[in-house]
Amino acid sequence: MEFIKAPRPAGCFFCEAAAADPAADPDHLVLARSELSLVLLNRYPYNNGHLMIAPRAHLANLEELPPTTAADVMGLTQRSLRVLRQVLSPQGFNLGINAGKIAGAGVADHIHQHVVPRWDGDTNFMPVVADTKVLNESLTVSYQQLRAGFDRLS
């Protein structure tokens, strides 16, 4: 809760993660990098293993992505699905892009795709009754397991 209640830093965390030395990947929750894009574990996950795939370039709109970057984002998305299947064994996925603040984008000025693993019965009454989301695993443990999966499937 301390993290959630803390003031959000200024700037774009996707750009900061992309520009950071790969040795700092755990601090930024970066699971994988390519020349044009990166995969991060979401700090505010909808479910365990919730990932975001973003281009390194700071672009707000999907239609602004050069074709090579769009293909790279999709390639990392496919790799992410393979890793999630291997490490977490989900029964399905939600994939999506919230284009613009009105569409629900928490970061509206840097396009990114969400990958949310899903399991039968993974919803419960807590979000409705207590305005609380229950996650079964800490971000640190999720990061370590998924990073090992990405390293194996590099």
Query: Tell me, what CATH number does 43's domain have?
Result: 3.30.428.10
Any domain includes 41: yes
- Reply yes or no on whether 114 is catalytic: no
| pLDDT tens digits for range 5-20 | 667 667 899 999 999 9
SS (H, E, C) the chain: CHHHHCCCCCCCHHHHHHHCCHHHHHHHCEEEECCCEEEEECCCCCCCCCEEEEECCCCCCHHHCCHHHHHHHHHHHHHHHHHHHHHHCCCEEEEECCCCHHHCCCCCCCCCEEEEEECCCCCCCHHHHCCCCCCCCCHHHHHHHHHHHHHHCC
pLDDT in tens, 67-123: 999 999 999 999 999 999 999 999 999 999 998 889 888 888 999 999 999 998 887
Q: Is residue 80 part of a domain?
A: yes
Domain that holds residue 126: 11-148
Q: Per the structure, how many domains does the chain have?
A: 1
Residue 85 lies in a domain: yes
Q: Which of 28, 50, 110, 112 is catalytic?
A: 112
